[in-house]
Amino acid sequence: MHIYSYHGNTVATTHTKMTLFEECKTALETDDTKALDSLQLQLALQSNETKLELLSNLMPYIETSLRQGVDESSELLQTLAHDQSFDELAKIIPVEAIHEGLISGLAALQQALLSLLRQDLVAQTELLYDALVLLADPDSPVGVVSAAHTALVGLVKSADSQLVQRRLTSDPACLKVLRAMKTEVVTASRLQGLLLDTVSEFRFPSYLYDTSDFDMYRDDPLALYVLIEYYTNLFRADASFIQTLSGTVKHLMSLFEPDELLNSLIDSVLVQLTGVLSTEDPDTVWQLDTELKLGKRFIVDKERGLDYEFLANLDPEYIKEHYSDAVRTVPLKVETLEVYVHLSSYQPTFVLLQGLESSSTIANLPFMARYTLLLALSETEWGMQRLLSFPSLIDSELELQDLNPESAQFRDLFLQRLLSTPWKGRAETALNGEKAPQIEMQL
């Protein structure tokens, strides 16, 4: 018996579901990863109703494949489960089955089930705790750690996350896991990632943000580097932590004390931390700067060659107030380019840059360094005025040049900024790739 006419869509839909089911079933049974990959797009284009029906019929095969460690089965499950409601999913995969899968020790299965977690599924169940345990387990595979992190961040940041957030701040079992993560370098870095990725939406208990046991980092400079990077990002995200963690801030700044093991690796990240602090809480930085004599050692005495790094990272207002004399002595060269780009953005420090008083020092820079500076200067009114006072410099840049595509992009961007200046006509000619006539500009 055939169905014709307007029932054609029904036939096509039924045929499509049957075909997809058979193809998925065969691929799962034979561990055909290429076939599973190729089916993803077709499955993603199906309606939620079709995907739910396929998930219900394929679930036994998906579970078997996941238990055999086939990662592509996880992607198949995620595609079919995407946008399905908690009630519908629970009919196919009960909460108890998800719990058993999360504690199974089978990485592919764990990753797949973590992708299913949503706050209406975990708020009143043990699944939130299960996800935390997987994140906190030092032996969890990288893929499981990543999946647990993604799931937890998604739960905390979801629109209706109040119940999840309440459990993370009050449930004794969850808090015990979070506290324990601070005691080992590997798990502490995972905790820091979770805290940073949720800090704009949620506050964990304040003690979790402070990794006060610096001794466990002492023999691991790379881990210490990551720790300082964490605090730098935390203070950048929320400056209130600077005062809350004032003792930690002082300890971090004291790490500038000479130590041959640490200096070569962590100096640069400490400078970045100091830069954030000088922007967000300049009074605290000046107090520590005075106490630890950071500026004297690194800017005035140049003890460890960090003078240019400091001046390229400290807040320009802070530099103007405390280190104007040091800025005046900085020559313009490739090694100091970042200092010039950084300080030219703020007019009170811009006027201190003596290397910008002559066009020849700019012209002598290599092409990429020169255009990095030209673009930085052309972003501000005072910088553009300075450039316009160097007609010979601009004239030379308007000459026809044989450049590679990347260099040409830099030059064209600068030429476009000249279109709003008296050099508009020649800039247009240069942008068209023509030789610009020599014209004496009256500026």
Percent of the chain whose predicted confidence (pLDDT) is above 90: 54
Task: Classify residue 412: in a domain, yes or no.
Answer: yes
At residue 258 the predicted structure's pLDDT band, cuts being 50, 70 and 90, is low
Sequence-distant (6+) residues with CB within 8 A of 163 are 119, 123, 124
- Given a cut of 70, is residue 260 above it in pLDDT? no
At residue 349 the predicted structure's pLDDT band, cuts being 50, 70 and 90, is very high
How many C-beta atoms surround the C-beta of residue 95 within 10 A? 16
Q: Tokens at residue 25, please?
A: 């079933």
Cβ atoms 228, 273 nearer than 8 A? yes
- Given a cut of 90, is residue 216 above it in pLDDT? no
Interval 135-148: pLDDT, tens:
999 999 999 999 99
Q: Distance between CA atoms of 65 and 346, rounded to whole angstroms?
A: 60
- Given a cut of 70, is residue 149 above it in pLDDT? yes
Sequence-distant (6+) residues with CB within 8 A of 230 are 189, 192, 196, 211
How many C-beta atoms surround the C-beta of residue 214 within 10 A? 14
* Amino acid in the structure at residue 397: E
At residue 257 the predicted structure's pLDDT band, cuts being 50, 70 and 90, is low
Sort residue 5 into left (φ over 0), alpha (ψ -120 to 50) or beta: left
Most confident of 59-73, 280-294, 341-355: 341-355
Write out the residue range of the structural domain in which residue 414 sits.
369-443
Longest dimension (CA), the chain: 94
At residue 19 the predicted structure's pLDDT band, cuts being 50, 70 and 90, is confident
Nearest CA among 150, 153, 78 for reference residue 108: 78
Q: What share of the chain is helix, strand, coil (3-state, %, to 5)?
A: 75, 0, 25
- Given a cut of 70, is residue 3 above it in pLDDT? no
pLDDT (0 to 100) of residue 11: 37
At residue 387 the predicted structure's pLDDT band, cuts being 50, 70 and 90, is very high
pLDDT (0 to 100) of residue 2: 32
At residue 263 the predicted structure's pLDDT band, cuts being 50, 70 and 90, is low
Interval 309-334: pLDDT, tens:
899 999 999 999 999 999 999 999 99
Q: How many CA atoms lie within 13 A of 396 on its CB side?
A: 13
- Given a cut of 90, is residue 282 above it in pLDDT? yes
pLDDT (0 to 100) of residue 224: 86
- Given a cut of 80, is residue 29 above it in pLDDT? yes
pLDDT (0 to 100) of residue 338: 96
- The label of the residue with tokens 């971090």 reads 252
Q: Distance between CA atoms of 34 and 21, rounded to whole angstroms?
A: 16
* Amino acid in the structure at residue 66: L
Q: What's the gap between Cα 398 and its chain centre?
A: 38
Task: Classify residue 160: in a domain, yes or no.
Answer: no
The per-type count for the chain, helices as H runs and strands as E runs, is 30, 0
Task: Classify residue 388: in a domain, yes or no.
Answer: yes
Most confident of 12-21, 40-49, 256-265, 400-409: 40-49
Q: Tokens at residue 17, please?
A: 């579901």
Task: Count up the domains in the chain and report the number.
Answer: 1
Cβ atoms 432, 412 nearer than 8 A? no
Task: Classify residue 374: in a domain, yes or no.
Answer: yes
At residue 8 the predicted structure's pLDDT band, cuts being 50, 70 and 90, is very low
- The label of the residue with tokens 């973590």 reads 114
Helix (H, G, I), strand (E, B) or coil at 94: coil
Cβ atoms 118, 98 nearer than 8 A? no
* Amino acid in the structure at residue 42: Q
Q: What are phi and psi of 404, to 5 degrees?
A: -75, 165
Interval 68-127: pLDDT, tens:
888 788 888 989 988 888 788 888 888 899 999 999 999 989 999 999 888 777 767 899
Task: Classify residue 325: in a domain, yes or no.
Answer: no
Task: Classify residue 426: in a domain, yes or no.
Answer: yes
Nearest CA among 384, 324, 385 for reference residue 354: 324
Task: Classify residue 420: in a domain, yes or no.
Answer: yes
pLDDT (0 to 100) of residue 7: 34
Task: Classify residue 343: in a domain, yes or no.
Answer: no
Cβ atoms 231, 275 nearer than 8 A? no
Q: Distance between CA atoms of 281 and 276, rounded to whole angstroms?
A: 8
- For the chain, the average pLDDT equals 87
